Chains A and B, each alone.
Chain A
Amino acid sequence: MDENTTHHHDHHDMSELSDVEVRVRSLETVLSEKGFIDPLALDAIVEAYETRIGPQNGKRIIARAWTDPEFREALFEDASAAAASFGNISPVGSHLIAVENTPKRHNMVVCTLCSCYPWEVLGLPPSWYKSAPYRSRAVIEPRKVLSEFGVILPETTEVRVWDSTAETRFLVVPMRPDETEGWSESDLEKLVTRNSMVGTGLALSPRDLEADP
């Protein structure tokens, strides 16, 4: 399939559908006529990922870990259970693992074989995470990759790359930025970025937030 054929928009009529759109529509039509899928269920799945299931869930977990020492401990003990304590986060697979960034160690996550990612707390992975450049390079030159994401670490900070190739999914807990003493959880959430929870970014500083709210 030609990549260029995929950029049509879905509001075109049948005659203008691209090859890939025709194939997807055929597959959906045939499977629903035969009773294997309910198109309304597909709508509901898409809606869930476009609205409820995304990095906003991870941000709440991180902000709480920064403010509540008991929760923090529980998160590193059993991240699936800790995430489940937020009632409205979708049930988390049984093997979510939180890994802690410290001045001594920076963690970053990749799936070299495909696209493993903690869906329940970060939503679906961004394109770069699933791309050949990230999958190939993150393991062999993580410091260079990090620097391209704007993260430059001293050599004394160990870089740990987690190749997430199996049943476990990893959530990076970034370091809490300086000068945020006394901030509320909801203000702290604004400093947490998706990349900081994958390990290709750091949490924003209060100054970053001022510059680009």
Chain B
Amino acid sequence: MSNSIHDMGGMHGFGAIIEETDEPVFHSKWESRVYAMNRALGPLRLWSIDEGRAAQEALPPAVYLSCSYYQRWLLGLETRVIKHKLATEEELSSGKSLQTVSAPSHIFRPEDAQKLTRGSYDRDPHSEPKFKVGDTIRTINTNTNTHTRLPRYARDKVGVVEALRGFHVYPDSVAIGNGEDPQWLYTVVFDGMTIWGPDSEPGVTLSIEAFEPYLEHL
């Protein structure tokens, strides 16, 4: 969902930023277990990371805002566990495994935590990039109701390509089960005035990481 509550850039009314002193890595044990379960299940490739992101973005706005960060991760994880038939709703509510399933032979082992790394989503390019550094572009105007990385504030705006960042799995495609469809990724920079008009603060530039389908030659 692209016009949903997670796309917060530029919204008003959320108030002050609260910085905790001496903040712990996790505030309670359950947060650490939710985080670790996500990390341990990720490499099994039962689903894509973008499907996980999309699951959180699909939460109703009131739920999204009233949940803490790791509560959202928990909801997203429960949804995927049920959807991909790792467990049933009944099993999760009873806390007991009621039927056996064939688990993958290679699961995340304690020793794998020695070399924790994010999955790799870059791919070998099979096309030439359409844009080069310095090109003036316009971002597309889109209101797709599926996952996208093009934030609302940066749609239909004129900017400049600042860097080419490689060829990567296209989240917009993989999140909806349409395959990796890898695309070139660029850093595109905008002037604050272009994005926010006269309400922009002075001397501000803003950049996004834009996949090639988000861009059009001006």
Closest Cβ of chain A to B185, distance in Å, is 6
Closest Cβ of chain A to B56, distance in Å, is 7
19 cross-chain CB contacts under 8 A? A6-B28, A25-B95, A26-B92, A27-B78, A28-B37, A37-B40, A43-B36, A44-B110, A49-B26, A50-B25, A113-B7, A131-B18, A140-B200, A143-B201, A155-B202, A155-B203, A160-B206, A163-B151, A167-B166
**A166 in contact (CB, < 8 A):** yes
A132 touches B203 (CB 8 A): no
B201 touches A20 (CB 8 A): no
Closest chain A residue to B77, Cβ basis: A27
Binary flags per residue of B101-115, CB closer than 8 Å to A gives 1, else 0: 101100111111111
Q: If the complex has contacts A135-B9, A163-B9, are A90 and B205 also in contact, measured as CB distance less than 8 A?
A: no
A1 touches B67 (CB 8 A): yes
Instruction: Count residues on chain B whose CB falls below 8 Å from chain A CBs.
Output: 99
Q: How far is the CA of A170 from the CA of B194 in the complex (A)?
A: 23
B180 / chain A contacts, CB cutoff of 8 Å:
none
Binary flags per residue of A6-46, CB closer than 8 Å to B gives 1, else 0: 11111000000000111111111111011111101111111
**A203 in contact (CB, < 8 A):** no
Within 8 A of B (CB), among A142-182: 142-145, 148-149, 155-168
Q: How far is the CA of A148 from the CA of B17 in the complex (A)?
A: 8
Within 8 A of B (CB), among A107-127: 110, 112-115, 119-120, 123-124, 126-127
B69 touches A130 (CB 8 A): yes
Q: If the complex has contacts A35-B107, A114-B56, A144-B201, are A95 and B165 also in contact, measured as CB distance less than 8 A?
A: yes
- Which of A31, A133, A144 contacts B86 (CB under 8 A)? A31
B118 touches A34 (CB 8 A): no
Closest Cβ of chain A to B173, distance in Å, is 14
**A102 in contact (CB, < 8 A):** no
**B60 in contact (CB, < 8 A):** no
Q: What would 7 more interface pairs be, CB under 8 Å, given A50-B26, A93-B117?
A: A24-B34, A29-B95, A31-B87, A145-B17, A158-B203, A165-B208, A168-B165
A135 / chain B contacts, CB cutoff of 8 Å:
8-9
Q: If the complex has contacts A30-B92, A95-B165, are A37 and B37 also in contact, measured as CB distance less than 8 A?
A: yes
Q: How far is the CA of A200 from the CA of B164 in the complex (A)?
A: 26
**A74 in contact (CB, < 8 A):** no
B203 touches A159 (CB 8 A): yes
